[in-house]
Structure 1
């Protein structure tokens, strides 16, 4: 936390500075002012989080200086240093948003209590700002807002980490582990949230994967190098801690971007390439360049990883026919694979051990473990009918929830948690059973409701229609509606009126 001390007496400034250092709190005294003009200049230059200001200073008194300086640094917390005769200024100080009074000479208990209160207040404001960023970012990813709704961070730089969890455990157990793992990451990010120029967001993507987004002001780039490195180290530590015979977590770091739209686009690209984790060492943090290398230079391994990803998806969703077809595809791909690339296949064995069942031995021949895959597939058939009905009932519940709450910020993570399954699994089931993705179905429901409102309430403003559907701006609603219907809401309404006429 950056601190400025303003007092016309050098002894007061020196004493207060020493006392602040003795508190052993992470405070950085970035400037000392001997008059009001210097305070204003230092505030504009450093944008401090905390300033101690003497009321009686030459040139410009403390209250007048605060009145001017707070316009340049609205986030600064102001603490008045005053003598007993200065209490008549209390009303004006409160009106200026002064957080506290310290009576001179300042004593250690009063200063410690004051600083602790300021820090707590500051941290709460940081968390509120960050919670808002996380909510708006998630809402943007799910199509309910536009990038313009995040105007406060439009000048920020951003990077993301895609998180993929693979496991053969039950859906409810996987969901518990995912939530526990993400909570640890979330708590770490909140603990390290020390400046208003930093934002974190933990979001669920449309297919049920997770992403951790970091945003920061360009002026804070130097500090972010260490902060991002420490976050990456913590994520790697937690991946290692959670790795077991039945679970593996993979993370992929994006590049740095200047717009949220570009970042989300790259995360979508990483999702398309994420099957590569099947043939790479597990529980690692990879870079975008690592994945791009395989995409550009090793198509056979990329195709094998994509086939493996489909095999796991079809196995876990009990789709025997599709599963069997992909196992046959995998056998043909492996047969034609060059010998020197077989090391990557050892990672594939382990991937299947994590995601299907722990029965694969790296020392077995390809024919042996292809047969094991087929044998495991045969066991899907007896339970198929009952599981199919249970899955259909689950999707029917989800559809009813969407139809009742389409106007809310519906995300797949909340529904998956409610039904004790993973977002990935719910996303796969929903697409299979309904024929469209989860997010597209929400859009369909909203567009059908839009038709009803535009026709049934011909005088309703477009903004009101948008808000009733869960969109936060009329322009965003008009864009979605036009893409869906091929005409704007007003044109749609006019066409209907013409038909009636």
Structure 2
């Protein structure tokens, strides 16, 4: 997007040009003018998206230039610069069609806000600000930055949120699902593109445990309309989740419901992850609301059985069939304990999960604890007889993961896609990675990127924006925030100090 600057002060033009060059948006300064006559020539030649115009210039002043310029370049939007004493002139400029006015001296944040407000209907600007929202949301969810760093009047503090976590369960011993997972991710991101609008924010993110999640947020200023638009996005997302479910994979959606501010959203997402095993009992393969899981949270027999089942089937995914057999023995007591309070709905949901996770097991609604335990043991024995050497050992999985991160750190990389490539579950790989390295995947990736950024900062003359892109960040502002959190200084100040 093109903009032109008209101001008779060299220092002002230089400052604005420098601030624009550091912005995330793809603004190009197409020309500069020192007076109104030169500005009119620029407008004819460049037809810019935005013109930043000083009211007081020698010869033809800013107001007259705007009046004539509207005829010469009708699609240009106007942003004026003024002093406190020029307020009446500013009012007149607004009547002429100026979108925003700025008081000198202007700060980078004020200029960027004004440019966004001036050109917010542009699809490119909407996408840019939504990508920034997604980056900040990911950093907040992984504890890389604190919510107190966000604008107190912004969406993370004052907005309303909805979230959904996608639990993707595939059968033990099933084929790698990297391609299908990548396709599902693409479909979800396509939903954000279809529904993105001014005043709402939409993101597809990876949670610390490796699960995919969709998040929608809206500003309080648009109220019910924002809620309606975000709800439409989630309807589309749920359709994609149903389409992604098949015999080879079942997608269960855990929904947060409406939350006020990021803190409540984060607490509910954490609650859903802590109670994720309860999906086996209350709607496996469908949509489960936060309140539905919370209503079962006090039933310890469900949590115990759910977690033992999760561990057992992770052993199957990893080919550790002897471990599965040992866990199957423990499961019999847990199943009997649950059976005393089980409802018919819980039995149907649980048996649906077991039949999906272990193809070949056949359970009826009347199967008792003994029959379920026997089926699980028999299944483990059959798998043990079919045992083949695993391609990936536990210790090798982390080393391969580290090699992959080292090669692809500058790209968009998530633990889910690496887990698919290694044919293990994201939660298993996340746990194993933390155990072996002492930190989460996202913190490791961020530390690696910051180290590479430091090398480029001190060893090259690349701009901050170029360095951010070279280490995997499209947003200079987001990169600067993470760099400052890591090193305690802005990148430019760090370069000067060292």
Shared fold per TM-score greater than 0.5: yes
Q: State whether residues 144 and 471 of structure 1, in contact with CA within 8 Å, keep that contact through their aligned partners in structure 2.
A: no
Alpha-carbon distance between aligned partners in 2 of 1:236 and 1:440, rounded to the nearest angstrom: 27
List per-residue Cα deviations over 1:453-478 (Å, max 9, x = no partner). Answer: 9xxx9xxxxxxxxx999884466337
**304-313 or 379-388, which deviates more:** 379-388
Inter-CA distance 401–145: structure 2 relative to 1 (3 Å threshold) = farther
Q: State whether residues 312 and 352 of structure 1, in contact with CA within 8 Å, keep that contact through their aligned partners in structure 2.
A: no
Alpha-carbon distance between aligned partners in 2 of 1:64 and 1:224, rounded to the nearest angstrom: 30
Could you tell me which residue of structure 2 aligns to residue 476 of structure 1? 485
Inter-CA distance 443–201: structure 2 relative to 1 (3 Å threshold) = closer
Inter-CA distance 221–360: structure 2 relative to 1 (3 Å threshold) = farther
1:345 is paired with a residue whose SS is helix
Could you tell me which residue of structure 1 aligns to residue 317 of structure 2? 316
List per-residue Cα deviations over 1:347-373 (Å, max 9, x = no partner). Answer: 211101222224222254432332221
Q: State whether residues 164 and 254 of structure 2, in contact with CA within 8 Å, keep that contact through their aligned partners in structure 1.
A: yes
Alpha-carbon distance between aligned partners in 2 of 1:372 and 1:272, rounded to the nearest angstrom: 28
1:8-47 correspondence to structure 2 within 5 Å: none
1:247-266 correspondence to structure 2 within 5 Å: 247-266=249-268
Could you tell me which residue of structure 2 aligns to residue 26 of structure 1? none
TM-score by length of 2: 0.62
Q: State whether residues 142 and 443 of structure 2, in contact with CA within 8 Å, keep that contact through their aligned partners in structure 1.
A: no
**65-74 or 365-374, which deviates more:** 65-74
Could you tell me which residue of structure 2 aligns to residue 125 of structure 1? 125
2:275 is paired with a residue whose SS is helix
Name structure 2 gaps, 5 residues minimum: 1-74, 79-89, 103-112, 459-467, 473-478, 489-498
Q: State whether residues 162 and 217 of structure 2, in contact with CA within 8 Å, keep that contact through their aligned partners in structure 1.
A: yes
Alpha-carbon distance between aligned partners in 1 of 2:293 and 2:286, rounded to the nearest angstrom: 13
1:153-302 correspondence to structure 2 within 5 Å: 153-154=155-156, 155-168=158-171, 173-195=176-198, 197-296=199-298, 298-302=299-303
Alpha-carbon distance between aligned partners in 2 of 1:147 and 1:201, rounded to the nearest angstrom: 17
Could you tell me which residue of structure 2 aligns to residue 102 of structure 1? none
Q: State whether residues 142 and 439 of structure 1, in contact with CA within 8 Å, keep that contact through their aligned partners in structure 2.
A: no
Could you tell me which residue of structure 2 aligns to residue 16 of structure 1? none
Inter-CA distance 415–142: structure 2 relative to 1 (3 Å threshold) = farther
1:40-439 correspondence to structure 2 within 5 Å: 65-67=96-98, 69=100, 74-75=115-116, 122-147=122-147, 150-151=150-151, 153-154=155-156, 155-168=158-171, 173-195=176-198, 197-296=199-298, 298-339=299-340, 341-343=342-344, 344-362=346-364, 363-381=366-384, 386-387=389-390, 389-402=392-405, 411-416=414-419, 419=422, 423-430=426-433, 434=436, 436=438, 438-439=440-441
Q: State whether residues 172 and 422 of structure 1, in contact with CA within 8 Å, keep that contact through their aligned partners in structure 2.
A: no
Inter-CA distance 380–407: structure 2 relative to 1 (3 Å threshold) = same
Q: CA deviation at 1:62?
A: 6.2
Inter-CA distance 221–260: structure 2 relative to 1 (3 Å threshold) = same
Alpha-carbon distance between aligned partners in 2 of 1:367 and 1:247, rounded to the nearest angstrom: 27
Alpha-carbon distance between aligned partners in 1 of 2:222 and 2:450, rounded to the nearest angstrom: 46
Alpha-carbon distance between aligned partners in 1 of 2:140 and 2:217, rounded to the nearest angstrom: 15
Q: CA deviation at 1:410?
A: 5.7
List per-residue Cα deviations over 1:385-444 (Å, max 9, x = no partner). Answer: 721754543322212344677798863135345556653453355457x37564388289
Q: State whether residues 144 and 472 of structure 1, in contact with CA within 8 Å, keep that contact through their aligned partners in structure 2.
A: no
Q: State whether residues 133 and 150 of structure 1, in contact with CA within 8 Å, keep that contact through their aligned partners in structure 2.
A: no
Alpha-carbon distance between aligned partners in 2 of 1:225 and 1:145, rounded to the nearest angstrom: 27
Q: State whether residues 239 and 249 of structure 1, in contact with CA within 8 Å, keep that contact through their aligned partners in structure 2.
A: yes
List per-residue Cα deviations over 1:153-181 (Å, max 9, x = no partner). Answer: 33323231111111117665433222222
Alpha-carbon distance between aligned partners in 2 of 1:311 and 1:383, rounded to the nearest angstrom: 18
Alpha-carbon distance between aligned partners in 2 of 1:293 and 1:170, rounded to the nearest angstrom: 33
1:277 is paired with a residue whose SS is helix
**170-179 or 316-325, which deviates more:** 170-179
